[in-house]
Chain A
């Protein structure tokens, strides 16, 4: 079964930086888009960013645009999230997630099918 293992979370001061990693295994990593989704304590899920399988296309939520950078190394089966200018409101569990595409009536759609266990990022002085 698909395995996604996040690392790199921890305590960081406001304005600081952190880089999250997600080691993927048991699927052909380069063939799938990947995403980061976060969940603040006691709150709902919030999509953060997605990257295409090749790494050539990236998308960001307005809340992190210009501060976070998603990237991937297909030779290492690893997804990254570089987080700069961190704010208290960025405090959350960050999940690495695998996208997959499916067809309905000859039209292709995509969704998230597998999630890692998450890594906690706490932004506080």
Chain B
């Protein structure tokens, strides 16, 4: 299968920790990347590989993976972290990208 499945929505209290998961067979062979997208804006890369953050991404964002599941954790969520989050990886064939279904994170 080339699908990546995410929970549609999660909520987190301000300052608390939230974990977003992404499931798919291709994650057994390829790392996931994670993107944050705020309304009306382009996606922004927040995590890639085993657990790498691009320059400028706060260290409250972290990534992990096990088997067919990748996770993005926000430790100490801030109001500005409210956004849609998408995982992304290669498909099983390796030539195509596939995106997750997306998770809307609400910070209460």
- Chain A positions near chain B (C-beta within 8 angstroms): 35, 37, 44-47, 50, 59, 61, 95, 102, 104, 109-118
Instruction: Give the nearest-CB partner of B43 in chain A.
Output: A115
Given A46-B99, A47-B96, A47-B99, do A118 and B49 touch, yes or no (CB 8 Å)? Answer: no
Chain B residues, CB < 8 A from A37: 97, 99
Could you tell me if B42 and A61 are in contact, using CB atoms closer than 8 angstroms? no
Residue in contact with A44 in the complex, picked from B45, B49, B86, CB distance below 8 Å: B86
Given A112-B88, A112-B97, do A45 and B43 touch, yes or no (CB 8 Å)? Answer: yes
Instruction: Give the nearest-CB partner of B101 in chain A.
Output: A44
Residue in contact with B86 in the complex, picked from A45, A50, A117, A118, CB distance below 8 Å: A45
Judged by a CB distance under 8 angstroms, whether B7 is at the interface is no
Could you tell me if B31 and A104 are in contact, using CB atoms closer than 8 angstroms? yes
- Mind listing 28 A-B residue pairs with CB under 8 Å? A44-B86, A44-B101, A45-B86, A45-B88, A47-B96, A47-B98, A50-B96, A50-B97, A59-B95, A59-B96, A61-B96, A95-B43, A102-B49, A104-B31, A109-B31, A109-B90, A111-B31, A111-B48, A111-B88, A112-B33, A112-B45, A113-B45, A114-B45, A115-B42, A115-B43, A115-B44, A117-B42, A118-B42
How far apart sit A118 and B42, CA to CA, in the bound complex (Å)?
Answer: 7
Chain A residues, CB < 8 A from B95: 50, 59
Chain B residues, CB < 8 A from A117: 41-42
The smallest beta-carbon distance between A92 and chain B, in angstroms, is 13
The smallest beta-carbon distance between A68 and chain B, in angstroms, is 14
How far apart sit A35 and B31, CA to CA, in the bound complex (Å)?
Answer: 18
Instruction: Count contacts between A and B, CB distance < 8 Å.
Output: 61
The smallest beta-carbon distance between B17 and chain A, in angstroms, is 25
Q: Mark B19-61, 1 if CB is under 8 A from A, else 0.
A: 0000000000011010101000111110011101010000000
How far apart sit A21 and B56, CA to CA, in the bound complex (Å)?
Answer: 28
- Assuming A44-B100, A46-B99, A112-B35, what are 19 further A-B pairs, CB within 8 angstroms? A35-B97, A37-B97, A37-B99, A45-B43, A45-B86, A45-B102, A47-B96, A95-B42, A95-B43, A109-B90, A111-B33, A112-B33, A112-B88, A113-B48, A114-B45, A115-B42, A115-B44, A116-B42, A118-B42
